[in-house]
Chain A
């Protein structure tokens, strides 16, 4: 099967799943539709984080900051200044991207530790600033209420089902975009950087510029996710604990790690799986009264991160299934490096 055809089939399966979900969960089960809609938002952000971690080999511990910057930008524009919700899209994405640029500029030249700590710091600062609310615009601890739903071409996205389709349509486009980026010059350059920065730069790759570009792009993905969250969140309500807390950054990180860094499909499954996890834990928790399931959730994230990274089960599985045998790859006709 050729590369292109396999890709098309993958997209078709993905699209079929998106269309099927709201048709399967109806009536009283439509709660699951809104839960899965939310997982689509996380998937968008996690796909950006996956580009950064899985392909560029960098790490962000503060992606919730970029997410919340996007969410608050559009929420402030549409509630305080009376903008049309859709008009907030560009500012939300641009401001998040700019924030990533400012953080990435000094830190990406240095070792990975610096970016990790800088993004961790940005996350903590963004959280404390939004909570402290210096200019009286973020609403502090209470957050922002009554954010208008999205209206596109006269259609209002205010039902679970319409929001689900909207979010997953965007996620689908982002998914396709990410695949194309990986398959482009910058994608190959990133993979070269991941293997060895020295050899990549010897081959003429501008290592710093590539890393910065992908970091800004992942910041923009997060901003886009934040934009969707602000206008599609349950109750149209933003508060710092939901969108900007360190635990959200960790949740996003875990989504990428659980799916296997560098695997787009894995990230997608990770996003959906971890979004369902609280619900599963709540169901199990009802069997053990008195146990706080959010603590268990946090412990699971920590253990999953550590154990997956130590044991690398994906490589082991591949080895066990003998998928890692060197396969003959036909050289592409026109290689652009």
Chain B
């Protein structure tokens, strides 16, 4: 029975893994540019889903317009966080910055919970309802999720390798002070990294909501999974974030089959195992 289902698990694992990979990329972009782990990263995903719910169900905007509005709104939130909360505390200790991003994340959650504490969803994007591959069947939305994730990864790669802004951000990742000396506006790059992370998080939230539902509290869990993926691939590595995310999705899906009901415990055990054995992640050499 089990071998028949391998393909099914593989595809479901890659679907959820794509979401984790996107969240992990968000963490990585901010960490590389500013040295901060943004604990509000999962909230970007939650906000993406919830704003989209507002756009489609309350305002009845067409899908593309709703997406655009949602993405702009979440990016604005990201930029405001950077300007109001991160920039004034730029030179403080890591623990201080961690607490600030946690405070921001809780405030965002509370703001959403203030409007509604229900779980929401909206219909999947246009396309076939189900796709059969071999003897596996996938909801059509899974294709949207994997496709979107693939496009974002490609776009990010192009951005970081072929645009001057992208190259400047990579320079910040290598050495912030040196980047500053050669004339790169490090503060602007910090703002840009928050905007970019918010954009990726918002898109992840928009595409994942039709398959799972979204509610005010879901950001924490998604953020934690994304961070597990980051650790799995090695903190600071973008290819690591993608591979870590996909791998985490697969491990979770297969693990959930073996020990059903302990999805979260699986992700976290992997996290502990990795920092026990290979704290630099599976890709990096020390």
Contacts and interface: CB of A to CB of B under 8 A. Distances in A.
Q: Do A and B come from the same complex?
A: yes
Interface of A: 53, 57-59, 61, 103, 106-107, 109-114, 116-118, 120-122, 124-125, 128-129, 132, 246, 250, 253, 257, 292, 295-296, 298-299, 301-307, 309-311
Contact of B106 (A117, A296, A298, A309): A298
A311 B85 CA distance: 10
Contacts of B238: none
A311 B88 CA distance: 8
B194 interface: no
Interface of chain B, helix or strand or loop or mixed?
helix
B95 A305 contact: no
A306 B275 contact: no
Contacts of B106: 250, 298-299, 301-302, 305
Nearest to A254: B103
Contacts of B265: 125, 128-129
Contacts of B92: 309
A84 B271 CA distance: 38
Contacts of B105: 302
B22 to A, nearest CB: 18
Interface string B220-242: 11001001100100010000000
B102 interface: yes
Given A107-B275, A295-B113, A299-B114, A305 B93 contact: no
B272 interface: yes
Interface in B67-121: 85, 88-89, 92-100, 102-111, 113-114
Contacts of A310: 85, 88-89, 100
Contacts of A298: 106, 109-110, 113
B100 A59 contact: no
A58 B96 CA distance: 10
A221 B103 CA distance: 24
A177 B64 CA distance: 61
B192 interface: no
Nearest to A301: B106
Given A118-B271, A121-B268, A292-B114, A113 B98 contact: yes
16 contacts: A112-B95, A113-B98, A116-B39, A116-B98, A121-B267, A121-B268, A122-B268, A246-B220, A253-B102, A296-B114, A298-B113, A299-B111, A305-B103, A307-B103, A310-B88, A310-B100
B197 to A, nearest CB: 16
Nearest to B269: A125
Interface residues of B, number: 44
Given A301-B106, A303-B103, A124 B98 contact: no
Contact of B89 (A106, A125, A128, A309): A309
Contact of A309 (B96, B227, B275): B96
Interface string B251-286: 000000000011011011001100110010000000
B281 to A, nearest CB: 12
Given A250-B102, A309-B96, A295 B114 contact: yes
Contacts of B102: 61, 250, 253, 302, 305
Contacts of A59: 95, 98-99
Contacts of A121: 224, 228, 267-268, 271-272
Nearest to B105: A302
A246 B108 CA distance: 15
B37 interface: yes
